[in-house]
Each structure stands twice: as structure tokens, then as C-alpha cells.
């Protein structure tokens, strides 16, 4: 029976193969839920069907309908998501998985008093949960549509639940899900959610208002007929075809209006407050023409007119709203819009997902996603009420985080650029220390691969006692991006034999110096200039990564530079590339002021900001002249054009297909230009490759060499003092 109705609805707008998918999902879900009953005693499948029905009404695509039918299968029937994927494909399984994950996000930490008066910790937990929810939604909007439909059926069947659970679900619905539906412009869903929840929270009030609405129904209907007849006739005179309807407001909104009146000390007694008149016309022009007619017939109330056509609401709602005095005394709310606007207004975001034959729409585009996030941020604003809280959420979200899932579906957030190793150390130090590999979405990936939002990360560990690799400490290799993981790896090495750390430390520095073609120098001097008490301490801290060879070299070079400022650092040919830069003080961040836009050659001065480093202004900038805190001003000067240096690099490697392109792509990955690249084969199947590259400084060179060293087949790589000597050509 249910099955027949469902399929009939699907056939109305879907192609046979799509209907088939829904049919299979139905049969699968029915079998999986077999024997399960809800608290009401109904078969569980009733819930799955109801969830799908609403989405059929919205005419969503077949994948969404199938996912709605299957949405409780993984959680309640312990069917692995893999099986869903095998049977129904990845699109459906992703949706089901998304709904499952969304349901696990705990949003009920919000009490009836909202966030006010909550502790900082509770606010943080709440913000965190909301953020997790945003991620799940941002992945695919349809996940939320299914969730809303699921919730709608749950709200309608709240009655049978025990008091406490009923209140919790109702509260969460009013605070989270109804505002979300509102954000999405899904009015129908929104008011049904609100009315259902309101009924559970305030059964008495609910009954009172619904009695009021029923009692006044015939009166209201007579009123609507009267007014719409007058209006239609007037519109006909100017050739506007219109459909006029009167819709009773829903119960929760009447309740809100009563509350609002009470707060203003007014009595709510006018039945006209219970309805709004809606006028549907054929074109935008007709909307404004109809508005003119309405205003000429009845006097508009000042301040009650809104043009949501010229400036639509954030959720794309478009309509004209006005309130007029009917017969000089009765306030009457009138909405005017086209049929098309009405359609979009009612369905909201779901309208964009409505299935259209021949259109492929399995992916939201990037700009869709951004619109989403913006809307969701707005939604945050509505439910939070606390400016401070909002700010914290906003900065958290804008902090460029990635959100990834553990194999169990928990969400972890990491800074952008984080790797599987960072992820492992966040979960447990031991997991990081024993990590030997990682799978992302089921595929093996290098440990240095950057993670992206929405990915599921699984860490592979050694069964034997495995130790971290010293390579992880080398920032050039990009294994670790978080200070947390770095600290843990260092700690591990620090606990090892001191002698081993001393040996390793020495080797690391010597290797890097050789590679960069720099003189070895006196290690005791280095240790002293880096403020180490003894040479052994210096080697040891290099060994466990407290200081890296790159940092040591950087320090040595900048000291060198200070001593003989006119000498170039990496000598050979020097090429000037016409970029202009402002020299700040030391490593302070500088940027150009937007008020006076200084250009090279202008007289400039720096202003030390509290958080954003130094802003560079023209000396005659008004903001500078009027600045009270003169001690914040600081001298700056234009630097010479940025200098680029040409450096030769030679690589020895085992010959293989693709070697040259792999090397050039890692170099390009560091945004370094290659001027020449030459290769020479040898008899023993090895190759010597010579590159001439343009670099900015020794740090960049060090990174490039480390990356080349990591290319498969490469035996050694080093800076070559004289490139031409390497190849005999
Ligand atoms: Mn459900």
C-alpha cells in the first residue's frame, strides 16, 4: 500500500530507472527494519516512508529519496555503510552516512534559557557541536533536507515519548531545526516543525489557540471571500489576472504574536490578525501594479511596507509585503508575488534540488557552497543571541580549519594543511608514534598528504613496537604541521639515548651543509652563537629536533650577512626581478595602508598595530599626522627590488620513466622557476641531472633540495658550485 503510493508519486516526475532505485531502496529498508517497531508500536518502516514522502512532495532527486528510505539502516539495523554503497552507489551512501553523522552531533546542550548564563565551557562545547553540524551540511545540502524531513516525522509522533525526551526533542527542534528550515526558506517545513514542537512543549496553549482558529474559521473564510472578490474585480479592470487566497497563520506564529502584543500591553482579539491575504500574479510588473491598486483602494499603514523583490531576503525569499486598513479600521496584511516566486518561496533551497529531467545535479558548485556557509553563519546569529559567542564561532570557522572523520564517524578538526600524522597525534600520542601509514577514504596515501574537509582518515600502525621517524622532524618534508604533533615527536626522541641523539644531530647538520654547498665552519662557534652550553647539548638538540639544521643555517647566514652586508649570500649570478617590497623591522609583518596607498619612492613611515604587524603609510597621510600615539610610529624604508639568485643543483638518480617530470613538478610545487634542466645517462643505469633554478634565499633552496631528495629513485642531491662542470657538453 505505502509502497504503491510512494512509487506512484515518484513516477510522476522521475524516469523509470530512477523509480527503480527508489523501489530497491524501499525493499532493502523494509527487510533491514523487519520486526522493528517504534515507541508508538508502528512498524519502524513507517518512519522511513514518512521521511521519504515529504521529500517526494518536494520532488527531490532519486538519490535523496533512496537515502531517506535508508537513513536509519546503518544505525538501527547495523548494516555497514559499505553495503549500502555496494548496493546503491556512492552518492546514496554518502547521503545516508551524512544523515547518520548529523544525527550523532549533540545539539541539546542548549537549555531553555539559550546561551545566556551558560558557562564558557558549555558555550564552547555548543559552538563546537554547531561547527560539526555545519561541516556535515556544507558537504552536501541534501543531507540537511533529509534530516529535516526525518525530524518532522519525529516531531509529529512526539506524543508517545516520555516527558523528558519529548521536551528535549521539541526544544532542539524550535531552537535549531526550525530556524534552519527558515534559513533555507522552507516555510512549510518550518511551521510544521514549530507547531509540532510547540504542541509538545505547551500542550495547553496549543489547544487554546487551535480552538480559537477553528472557532473563527467560517468567519475568516467569509471575510476572505469578500475581500478577494473586491480585489480581483479591481485588478481585472487593469487586465491583471490574479489568484487571491487567505491563509490562516500557523499556531506557533499566532502564539508569538500574542506574546508580542502582551509585551506591548495590548490585547489580542482581532481575528484579522489570524490571517494574511496572498495575491499571486503572472509577472513582476503585475506585482507592482497590483500593489498600486491595493494602496489606492485601502490606506497603507506607514512602515509596514517591504519590497523583498527589489531586495530579496538572504534565503532568496521574494515578495511584496504591505499592511493596509480595510474599511478604514481593519488592519490587513497582504503579500503580493508571482506564481514562480511563490514556488521558490515555498520550497526554499529544495527548489534548487528539484529533479529536472536531463539535468545532472549531483554536485553543489563551490559558489553554492559558499552561499550555504554564509546562510548558515547568519543562522548562527539568530540562535545565539550572544555577540561574543558569535564572534568566537566566526573566528573559529574562518580560521581555515579542516574537518575530518575518524573511521568511527567522529569529527576531528585540524588546521589547514594538517597531515595524517597530525591527525594520529591528535587522537593519541601512541597512535602517532606507531604510525606506519594512513588511508584516506580507504586509499593509502603518503603521510605528508594534506587532508581535506570531509575525508575519513584511518591510521595504520605497526604491530611491533615502532618508533617515529626522524624525517618527521624535518619541516622541509612536510610530515607534520601542528605544534602538538611536533612536540610529541620531539619528546619521543628526547627520551632516547643521548649519545644517539648527539650522533644523529651531527650527521643531520653536516649533511645539510654539504648539500647546500656551505662551508662546515667550527661547530663550537655555532653552538655558542645559538647559546648552547656545550657542543654536545647542541648536537643532541639537533638530534631530537628542538632545533633544525635549517634553523641553524638560517641563523649562521643572517649573522654572516650582518657582518658583511654588501656581500651576496649564495654567490654566483644574481638576477634582479622587479618586485618591490617594504622592509619592516626584523621579522615584523608589514603591509601597505589602504587609506593612502603608498607607492615605491613615496616617503613612508610605519605604524605598529596591536595585532597585524606594521602598517606602512605615506608620511603625509592624514591618519599619521593626526595620530596621538606617536610612539607607535616606526621608521621603515623601501627595499631594493627583491633579489633572485640562480643556483645550480645536481641530482644523481636511478633512471626510470617519469623521473624528470617528477623532479620538475616538486620544484614547481615550491613555486621555484627552473631556467635549465639537463640530464646525462650513465652506463650503470643511473643518471646525473643538472638544474639551474631561481631562488629567493637559502631557506627556499633547502626546501627544494629536501623535496627532490624525496623523489623516488633519487640517490643524492646537492647544490653544485659550477653547473657547467658537471655535464661535459
Ligand atoms: Mn530517523
pLDDT per position as a tens digit, 192-241: 999 999 999 999 999 988 888 777 778 878 888 888 889 999 999 989 99
375 C-alpha to center of ligand 1: Å? 25
Q: Outline where 328-411 has alpha helix (H).
A: 339-347, 350-353, 366-384, 387-398
Which of 2, 46, 75, 333 does the annotation list as catalytic? 75
Which of the four pLDDT bands, split at 50, 70 and 90, describes residue 320?
Answer: very high
Q: Which of 32-36, 381-385, 629-633 has the highest mean pLDDT?
A: 32-36
164 C-alpha to center of ligand 1: Å? 19
Asked which of 69-73, 398-402, 616-620, 697-701 is least confident by mean pLDDT, the reply is 398-402
Which of 34, 46, 72, 76 does the annotation list as catalytic? 76
pLDDT at 111 over 50: no
Return left, alpha or beta for 328; rule: phi > 0 is left, psi -120 to 50 is alpha, else beta. left
Asked which of 345-349, 352-356, 449-453, 712-716 is least confident by mean pLDDT, the reply is 352-356
Query: What confidence score (pLDDT) does residue 199 get?
Result: 92
pLDDT at 291 over 70: yes
pLDDT at 270 over 70: no
β-bridge mates for residue 246, sequence order: 277
Give the mean pLDDT of 474-496.
87
65 C-alpha to center of ligand 1: Å? 13
β-bridge mates for residue 652, sequence order: 688, 716
From the list 76, 74, 77, 22, the residue with the least C-alpha distance to 53 is 22
Query: What confidence score (pLDDT) does residue 364 get?
Result: 42
Asked which of 24-28, 34-38, 337-341, 516-520 is least confident by mean pLDDT, the reply is 516-520
Q: What is the mean pLDDT of the chain?
A: 78
Query: What confidence score (pLDDT) does residue 189 get?
Result: 87
Query: What confidence score (pLDDT) does residue 117 get?
Result: 47
pLDDT at 294 over 70: yes
β-bridge mates for residue 413, sequence order: 403
Question: What is the distance between the alpha carbons of residues 319 and 307, in angstroms, rounded to a whole number?
Answer: 7
Question: What is the distance between the alpha carbons of residues 226 and 244, in angstroms, rounded to a whole number?
Answer: 11
24 C-alpha to center of ligand 1: Å? 19
546 C-alpha to center of ligand 1: Å? 51
In the chain, pLDDT over 70 holds for what percent of residues? Answer: 77
Q: Order of strands across the sheet with 604-608?
A: 590-592, 614-618, 604-608, 633-634
What is this structure's pTM? 0.49
pLDDT at 683 over 60: yes
Per-residue cell: 347 = 520550497
Asked which of 303-317, 450-464, 660-674 is least confident by mean pLDDT, the reply is 303-317
Asked which of 30-34, 640-644, 704-708 is least confident by mean pLDDT, the reply is 640-644
β-bridge mates for residue 412, sequence order: 404
pLDDT at 50 over 90: yes
In the chain, pLDDT over 90 holds for what percent of residues? Answer: 22
Which of the four pLDDT bands, split at 50, 70 and 90, describes residue 721?
Answer: low
**pLDDT tens string 142-188:** 888 899 999 999 999 888 888 888 988 898 888 778 877 876 777 78
Write the CB contacts of 27 (distance below 8 Å, at least 6 apart in sequence): none
Per-residue cell: 340 = 514562480
CA dihedral 634, 639, 644, 645 (to 10 degrees): -90
Query: What confidence score (pLDDT) does residue 375 get?
Result: 53
Which of the four pLDDT bands, split at 50, 70 and 90, describes residue 572?
Answer: very low
Burial (CB count within 10 angstroms: exposed 0-12, middle 13-18, buried 19+), residue 729: exposed
152 C-alpha to center of ligand 1: Å? 10
Is 163 known to be catalytic?
A: no
Query: What confidence score (pLDDT) does residue 363 get?
Result: 40
Which of the four pLDDT bands, split at 50, 70 and 90, describes residue 568?
Answer: very low
Which of the four pLDDT bands, split at 50, 70 and 90, describes residue 585?
Answer: very low
Write the CB contacts of 361 (distance below 8 Å, at least 6 apart in sequence): 61, 353
pLDDT at 481 over 50: yes
Query: What confidence score (pLDDT) does residue 524 get?
Result: 85
154 C-alpha to center of ligand 1: Å? 7
CB count in 10 Å sphere of residue 666? 18
DSSP H or E stretch at residue 323: strand 320-326
CB contact at 8 A, 348 and 313? no
Give the mean pLDDT of 307-320.
80
Which of the four pLDDT bands, split at 50, 70 and 90, describes residue 573?
Answer: very low
Query: What confidence score (pLDDT) does residue 288 get?
Result: 92
100 C-alpha to center of ligand 1: Å? 9
Which of the four pLDDT bands, split at 50, 70 and 90, describes residue 274?
Answer: low
Query: What confidence score (pLDDT) does residue 32 get?
Result: 93
> β-strands 643-654, 686-695: how paired?
antiparallel
CB contact at 8 A, 48 and 66? no
Write the CB contacts of 178 (distance below 8 Å, at least 6 apart in sequence): 190, 193, 194, 197
**pLDDT tens string 428-460:** 999 999 999 999 988 999 999 999 877 889 999
**Phi, psi (degrees; rounded to nearest 5) at 533:** -70, -40
169 C-alpha to center of ligand 1: Å? 13
540 C-alpha to center of ligand 1: Å? 58
Query: What confidence score (pLDDT) does residue 29 get?
Result: 95
Give the mean pLDDT of 296-313.
84
713 C-alpha to center of ligand 1: Å? 53
Question: What is the distance between the alpha carbons of residues 371 and 94, in angstroms, rounded to a whole number?
Answer: 21
Question: What is the distance between the alpha carbons of residues 297 and 325, in angstroms, rounded to a whole number?
Answer: 9
Query: What confidence score (pLDDT) does residue 357 get?
Result: 42
pLDDT at 644 over 90: no
CB contact at 8 A, 426 and 441? no
CB contact at 8 A, 461 and 484? no
pLDDT at 729 over 90: no
Of 356 and 44, the structure prediction assigns the larger pLDDT to 44
**pLDDT tens string 501-546:** 899 999 989 888 888 877 777 888 888 888 888 889 999 999 988 8
Give the mean pLDDT of 656-681.
86
Angle between helices 141-156 and 187-201 (to 10 degrees): 40
Query: What confidence score (pLDDT) does residue 580 get?
Result: 35
Is 75 known to be catalytic?
A: yes
Give the 3-state secondary structure of residue 578: coil
Which of the four pLDDT bands, split at 50, 70 and 90, describes residue 351?
Answer: low
Per the listing, cell 504591505 goes with: 322
Q: Which of 176-185, 421-430, 610-619, 656-665 has the highest mean pLDDT?
A: 421-430
Give the mean pLDDT of 638-650.
71
β-bridge mates for residue 458, sequence order: 439
pLDDT at 720 over 90: no
Amino acid at each position: 500500500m505505502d509502497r504503491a503510493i510512494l512509487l506512484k508519486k515518484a513516477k510522476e516526475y522521475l524516469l523509470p530507472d530512477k523509480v527503480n532505485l527508489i523501489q530497491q531502496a524501499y525493499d532493502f529498508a523494509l527487510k533491514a527494519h523487519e520486526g522493528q517497531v517504534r515507541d508508538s508500536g508502528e512498524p519502524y518502516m513507517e518512519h522511513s516512508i514518512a521521511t521519504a514522502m515529504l521529500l517526494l512532495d518536494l520532488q527531490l532527486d532519486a538519490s535523496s529519496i533512496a537515502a531517506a528510505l535508508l537513513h536509519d539502516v546503518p544505525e538501527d539495523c547495523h548494516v555497514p555503510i559499505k553495503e549500502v554503497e555496494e548496493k546503491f552507489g556512492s552518492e546514496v551512501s554518502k547521503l545516508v552516512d551524512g544523515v547518520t553523522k548529523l544525527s550523532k552531533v549533540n545539539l541539546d546542550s542548549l537549555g531553555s534559557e539559550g546561551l545566556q548564563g551558560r558557562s564558557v565551557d558549555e558555550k564552547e562545547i555548543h559552538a563546537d557541536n554547531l561547527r560539526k553540524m555545519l561541516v556535515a551540511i556544507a558537504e552536501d545540502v541534501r543531507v540537511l533536507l533529509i534530516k529535516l524531513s526525518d525530524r518532522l516525522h519525529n516531531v509529529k509522533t512526539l506524543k508517545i515519548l516520555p516527558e523528558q525526551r519529548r521536551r528535549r526533542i521539541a526544544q532542539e527542534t524550535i531552537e535549531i531545526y526550525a530556524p534552519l528550515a527558515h534559513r533555507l526558506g522552507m516555510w512549510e517545513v518550518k511551521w510544521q516543525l514549530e507547531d509540532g514542537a510547540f504542541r509538545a512543549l505547551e500542550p495547553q496553549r496549543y489547544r487554546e489557540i487551535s480552538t480559537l482558529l477553528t472557532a473563527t474559521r467560517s468567519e475568516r473564510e467569509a471575510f476572505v471571500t469578500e475581500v478577494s472578490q473586491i480585489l480581483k474585480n479591481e485588478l481585472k479592470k487593469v487586465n491583471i489576472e490574479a489568484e487571491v487566497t487567505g491563509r490562516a497563520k500557523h499556531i506557533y506564529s499566532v502564539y508569538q504574536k500574542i506574546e508580542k502584543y502582551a509585551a506591548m500591553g495590548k490585547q489580542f482579539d482581532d481575528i484579522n490578525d489570524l490571517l494574511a491575504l496572498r495575491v499571486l500574479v503572472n509577472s513582476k510588473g503585475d506585482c507592482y501594479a497590483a500593489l498600486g491598486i491595493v494602496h489606492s483602494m485601502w490606506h497603507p499603514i506607514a512602515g509596514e511596507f517591504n519590497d523583498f523583490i527589489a531586495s530579496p531576503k538572504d534565503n532568496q525569499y521574494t515578495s511584496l509585503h504591505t499592511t493596509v486598513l480595510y474599511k478604514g479600521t481593519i488592519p490587513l496584511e497582504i503579500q503580493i508575488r508571482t506564481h514562480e516566486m511563490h514556488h521558490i518561496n515555498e520550497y526554499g533551497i529544495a527548489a534548487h534540488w528539484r529533479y529536472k529531467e536531463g539535468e545532472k545535479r549531483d554536485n553543489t558548485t563551490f559558489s553554492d557552497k559558499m552561499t550555504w556557509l554564509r546562510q548558515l553563519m547568519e543562522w548562527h546569529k539568530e540562535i545565539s543571541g550572544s555577540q561574543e559567542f558569535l564572534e568566537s564561532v566566526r573566528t573559529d570557522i574562518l580560521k581555515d580549519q579542516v574537518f575530518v572523520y575518524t573511521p568511527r564517524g567522529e569529527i576531528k578538526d585540524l588546521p589547514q594543511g594538517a597531515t595524517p600524522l597530525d591527525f594520529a597525534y591528535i587522537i593519541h600520542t601512541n597512535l602517532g608514534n606507531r604510525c606506519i601509514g594512513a588511508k584516506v577514504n580507504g586509499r593509502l596515501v603518503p603521510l605528508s598528504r594534506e587532508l581535506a574537509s570531509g575525508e575519513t582518515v584511518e591510521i595504520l600502525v605497526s604491530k611491533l613496537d615502532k618508533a617515529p621517524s626522524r624525517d618527521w622532524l624535518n619541516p622541509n618534508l612536510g610530515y607534520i604541521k601542528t605544534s602538538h604533533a611536533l612536540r610529541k615527536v620531539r619528546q619521543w626522541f628526547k627520551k632516547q639515548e643521548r649519545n644517539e641523539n648527539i650522533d644523529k644531530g651531527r650527521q643531520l647538520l653536516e649533511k645539510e651543509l654539504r648539500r647546500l654547498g656551505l662551508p662546515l665552519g667550527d661547530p663550537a662557534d655555532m653552538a655558542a652563537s645559538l647559546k648552547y652550553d656545550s657542543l654536545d647539548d647542541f648536537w643532541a638538540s639537533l638530534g631530537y629536533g628542538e632545533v633544525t639544521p635549517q634553523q641553524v643555517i638560517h641563523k649562521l647566514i643572517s649573522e654572516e650577512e650582518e657582518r658583511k652586508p654588501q656581500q651576496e649570500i649564495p654567490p654566483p649570478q644574481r638576477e634582479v626581478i622587479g618586485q618591490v617590497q617594504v622592509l619592516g623591522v626584523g621579522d615584523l609583518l608589514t603591509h601597505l595602508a589602504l587609506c593612502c596607498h603608498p607607492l615605491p619612492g613615496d616617503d613612508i613611515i610605519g605604524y605598529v598595530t596591536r595585532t597585524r604587524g606594521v602598517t606602512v603609510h605615506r608620511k603625509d597621510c592624514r591618519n599619521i599626522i593626526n595620530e596621538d600615539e606617536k610612539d607607535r610610529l616606526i621608521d621603515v624604508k623601501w627595499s631594493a627590488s627583491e633579489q633572485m639568485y640562480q643556483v645550480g643543483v645536481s641530482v644523481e638518480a636511478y633512471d626510470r620513466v617519469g623521473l624528470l617530470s617528477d623532479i620538475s613538478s616538486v620544484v614547481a610545487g615550491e613555486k621555484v622557476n627552473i631556467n635549465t634542466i639537463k640530464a646525462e645517462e650513465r652506463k650503470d643505469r643511473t643518471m646525473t641531472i643538472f638544474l639551474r633554478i631561481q631562488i629567493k634565499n637559502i631557506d627556499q633552496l633547502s626546501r627544494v633540495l629536501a623535496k627532490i631528495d624525496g623523489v623516488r629513485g633519487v640517490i643524492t642531491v646537492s647544490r653544485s658550485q659550477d653547473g657547467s662542470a658537471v655535464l661535459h657538453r
